[in-house]
């Protein structure tokens, strides 16, 4: 009787394009660039290029086969975002919810200057 | 500066620390949900997973009645626990179709023989293509699909015995 493995991995080999480079170097370069920008669904802190998860291999296979078929990387990214949301891309689009992040350094700098303006003017006066 | 104002940076630090402690106690939800709820099932056509069981295509999911689409695999341990629950659902009249992820026919046949077969059809998705097309991220997962082929509800993880009323309610809502 076979024992059930502790790791939930299939018995099947990786998908064809999971670990093979595309023959066309320009396509492979576009595919690699995209793979580093798509988050792995299983190991959510890694890109699919870095992750060893089987599903990451299948996502690499998906990306490479579509690029080989002539699809544009941004179209593939949009397809994935449509299914999983913006977080799956390491290059999310600039959404209004992000503006505090960009404005905060400027605002803090401004607040800091306000705090020290009295000291600057005092020094100038003396 | 007024006497009270000098405590402002300390108060700010207190707020930030409180926020961090709260987040440690209430970690964010890392479950991946498909964004296709409410949209039509993407077109797909999968070969039969085992001989003697019909193959599965997206066209066969729009039958006029809600169906349950279950992603499973023979190497998926929680799927073994889910099998009796699916059997219960089947006995209550739920139409269940299966998609076997990254599986060989002999392993699927073995799994169904050992754990029961609640499926009307089983498709074989050896490179997770349909799984990715539906916005699923692992096994087991189940989707409630209404009679017009629209995805109405996604259940991530195995359906537990006490979640049977929930699934039946979702299927009812999809009528």
Contacts of B32 in chain A (CB under 8 A): 41, 84
Which CATH code is given to the segment(s) B45-173?
3.40.30.10
Q: Which residue has the tokens 């699919």?
A: A48
Contacts of B16 in chain A (CB under 8 A): none
Domain ranges of chain B: 45-173
Predicted pLDDT at A37? 94
Average pLDDT over residues B35-46: 92
Predicted pLDDT at A126? 58
d(CA B130, CA B149): 15
Beta carbons of B104 and A85 less than 8 Å apart: no
Find the angle CA(B20)-CA(A99)-CA(A84) to the nearest 5 degrees.
Answer: 75
Under 8 Å between Cβ of B129 and B100: no
What mean pLDDT value characterizes chain B?
92
Beta carbons of A61 and B134 less than 8 Å apart: no
Say if the ipTM goes beyond 0.95.
no
pLDDT tens digits, one per residue of B25-34? 998 887 888 8
d(CA B100, CA B119): 11
Our CA-based measurement puts residue B27 at a distance from the nearest CA of chain A, in whole angstroms, of: 15
Predicted pLDDT at A6? 44
Average pLDDT over residues B86-105: 94
Q: Which residue has the tokens 């503006």?
A: A99
Predicted pLDDT at A125? 65
Predicted pLDDT at A8? 66
Beta carbons of B137 and A15 less than 8 Å apart: no
Q: Which residues of chain A have a pLDDT value below 70? A: 1-8, 124-126
SS3 content of chain A, % helix, strand, coil (to 5): 55, 5, 40
d(CA A38, CA A71): 16
SS3 B5: helix
Our CA-based measurement puts residue A106 at a distance from the nearest CA of chain B, in whole angstroms, of: 18
**Of the candidates B120, B62, B55, B122, the residue with the CA atom closest to the CA atom of residue B94:** B120
Q: If you ran DSSP here, which 8-state letter would residue B43 be given?
A: P
pLDDT at B99 over 80: yes
pLDDT tens digits, one per residue of B50-77? 988 999 999 888 888 999 999 999 999 9
* Residue B6 structure tokens: 């000098």
Beta carbons of A58 and B127 less than 8 Å apart: yes
Predicted pLDDT at B106? 93
Sign of the CA dihedral A58, A64, A70, A75?
positive
Our CA-based measurement puts residue B114 at a distance from the nearest CA of chain A, in whole angstroms, of: 12
* pTM, two decimal places: 0.82
């Amino acid at each position: 009787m076979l024992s059930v493995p502790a790791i939930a991995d299939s018995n099947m080999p990786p998908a064809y394009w999971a670990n093979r480079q595309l023959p066309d170097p320009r396509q492979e370069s576009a595919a690699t660039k995209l793979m580093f920008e798509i988050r792995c669904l299983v190991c959510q802190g890694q890109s699919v290029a870095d992750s060893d998860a089987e599903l990451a291999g299948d996502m690499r296979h998906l990306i490479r086969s579509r690029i080989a078929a002539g699809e544009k990387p941004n179209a593939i990214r949009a397809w994935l975002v449509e299914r999983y949301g913006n977080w799956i891309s390491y290059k999310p689009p600039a959404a209004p919810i992000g503006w505090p992040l960009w404005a905060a350094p400027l605002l803090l700098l401004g607040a800091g200057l306000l705090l020290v303006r009295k000291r600057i003017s005092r020094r100038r006066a003396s | 500066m007024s006497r009270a104002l000098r405590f402002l940076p300390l108060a700010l630090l207190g707020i930030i620390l409180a926020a961090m402690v709260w987040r440690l106690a209430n970690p964010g939800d890392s479950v991946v949900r498909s964004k296709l709820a409410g949209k039509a099932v993407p077109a797909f056509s999968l070969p039969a997973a085992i001989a003697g069981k019909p193959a599965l295509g997206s066209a066969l999911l729009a039958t006029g009645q809600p169906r349950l689409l279950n992603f499973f695999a023979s190497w998926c341990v929680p799927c073994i626990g889910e099998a009796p629950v699916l059997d219960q659902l089947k006995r209550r009249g739920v139409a269940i179709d299966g998609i076997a992820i990254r599986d060989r026919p002999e392993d699927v046949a073995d799994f169904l023989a050992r754990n029961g077969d609640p499926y009307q059809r089983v498709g074989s998705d050896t490179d997770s293509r349909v799984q990715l097309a539906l916005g699923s991220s692992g096994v087991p997962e189940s989707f409630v699909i209404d009679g017009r082929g629209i995805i109405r509800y996604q259940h991530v993880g195995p359906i537990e015995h006490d979640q049977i009323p929930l699934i039946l309610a979702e299927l009812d809502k999809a009528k």
